[in-house]
Amino acid sequence: MSILADHAEAAPAAVPRTFARITLPDRARDRLGAQLAEAGEPGPDIDRSMTRYLQIFAGLPTDTLQQILDFGRHVDTAGVALVENLPVDEHLPDTPADGGPSRDKRSFVAEGVLLGLSGLIGEPMGVRTEKAGQLVHDVIPVQGGARTQTNEGSEVFLNFHSDIMHDEIGRYDIANPDFLVLSCLRADHEGVAATHYADARDISAALAPETLQTLRSPLFRLNAPGSYTRRVTGGQDALSEPVPLISGSDDYPEIAVSANGVRPLTSGAQAALEQLQEVCGAVAHGVRLRPGQALLINNRKGVPARPSFTARYDGRDRWLQRTYVRRSLWSIRYRVTPENRRVHY
Ligand SMILES: O=C(O)CCC(=O)C(=O)O
């Protein structure tokens, strides 16, 4: 596993894919910052806000804008992109100890950056069982969740995983987001917390063919996210129907792995799962996000992870904001809530 250097060279073809880098020129950053500050708080008419963000982000230099758009629309682009030199809020309140949202945040440049980037690659969506359906998720270490396989954790390695959700249809990898956007408001105290990403193309290439074949067979049940099982099943497993972990064409595979436990159905599947986590670690790249940086993450082309780090719960802990993004809301209309067309069961 390697950590992205400040000025990484393009990786030679034979080594695992690294993060694409998209850097805003200073003038574009300053203009974006001023316009987002003026746009103010997003909502309550979120579609109006998204339209305004689109107008603002359309003013980015053509090359920068196209890199972001291409990330969202093409099958052969990187699975993860680091966007740098983004504007930040002039004043940032304490990191909320309860996991947010902050009640003291008075400016909304960070929210504009997050939603504006999201709008260039798809449509931000909410899920009732994840952060109460909010579109802007705060990803913050919370004392009670320090050892959990959720975004509240810090003391444990957050396994390579996909962001999935419990679904009555028995598949948790259908209505889940196509992308996540993770934006950094504040780094952790030591500056060591990294976001890793393993691309399914690199994972597939590194696996033994028979292991890959097993992972491509419906021999695994995914456990629903901890945010769901904690609230709904009292911590008991809520398993999907049997699914493969890797699917789709050899050139453009899709991967789905649950953070909260994958239950293999055979001993061969168990061994393949262990191989998978090991290979993810070997081919992954990581980046230590800093304020002014955001990650665009394809939630189908690969899987993120996060090593442990130290939280102090002193108002200066790591603070990311996150969106879930769908390319289209049409295919998940069976889950839409009556009260909000962007929020799903
Ligand atoms: O905290 C991080 O860096 C990764 C977060 C993540 O993987 C997630 O929100 O699904």
pLDDT, block means (10 residues), the chain with 345 residues: 54 68 98 98 95 98 98 97 98 96 97 98 95 95 92 94 96 98 98 97 98 98 93 95 98 97 98 98 97 98 97 97 98 95 94
Nearby residues of 8 by Cβ (< 8 Å), 6 or more positions away:
18, 19, 21
**Residue 1 forms part of a structural domain:** no
What atom in ligand 1 is closest to the CA of residue 194? 3
Pocket test for ligand 1, best of 151, 297, 319 (most atoms within 8 A of CB): 151
For 334, which DSSP code?
G
Q: What is the pLDDT of residues 40-59, one digit of tens each?
A: 999 899 999 999 999 999 99
What atom in ligand 1 is closest to the CA of residue 163? 10
Q: How far, in Å, is the centroid of ligand 1 from the Cα of 195?
A: 7
Which residue is listed with tokens 């804008």? 65
Read off φ and ψ for residue 286, nearest 5 degrees: -130, 160
175/192 Cα distance (integer angstroms): 33
CB-CB contact of 121 with 71 (8 Å): yes
Residue nearest atom 5 of ligand 1, based on CA coordinates: 151
Residue nearest atom 9 of ligand 1, based on CA coordinates: 151
Handedness of CA 289, 299, 72, 345 (dihedral sign): negative
Helix, strand, coil shares, percent, the chain, to 5: 30, 20, 50
334/137 Cα distance (integer angstroms): 23
- Count of domains in the chain? 1
**Residue 90 forms part of a structural domain:** yes
pLDDT of residue 6: 45
**Residue 161 forms part of a structural domain:** yes
Please work out, in degrees rounded to the nearest 5, the angle formed at the alpha carbon of residue 157 by the alpha carbons of 229 and 82: 100
Q: How far, in Å, is the centroid of ligand 1 from the Cα of 161?
A: 9
Nearest of 288, 284, 201 to residue 248 by alpha carbon = 201
Which residue is listed with tokens 């990294």? 194
Q: Which domain holds residue 130?
A: 17-340
What atom in ligand 1 is closest to the CA of residue 193? 3
249/251 Cα distance (integer angstroms): 5
- Residue 182 DSSP SS3: strand
- Residue 201 DSSP SS3: helix
pLDDT of residue 16: 78
**Residue 175 forms part of a structural domain:** yes
For 54, which DSSP code?
H
What atom in ligand 1 is closest to the CA of residue 137? 9
pLDDT of residue 3: 72
For residue 60, what is the domain's CATH number?
A: 3.60.130.10
**Residue 200 forms part of a structural domain:** yes
Could you give the residue ranges of the DSSP H alpha helices within the chain? 26-39, 46-57, 62-73, 109-121, 200-206, 209-215, 226-232, 267-283
**Residue 5 forms part of a structural domain:** no
**Residue 213 forms part of a structural domain:** yes
**Residue 92 forms part of a structural domain:** yes
Q: How far, in Å, is the centroid of ligand 1 from the Cα of 318?
A: 12
pLDDT of residue 2: 73
pLDDT of residue 43: 86
| Residue ranges lining ligand 1, Cβ < 6 Å | 139, 151, 158, 163, 180, 195, 304, 306, 320, 322
Residue nearest atom 8 of ligand 1, based on CA coordinates: 151
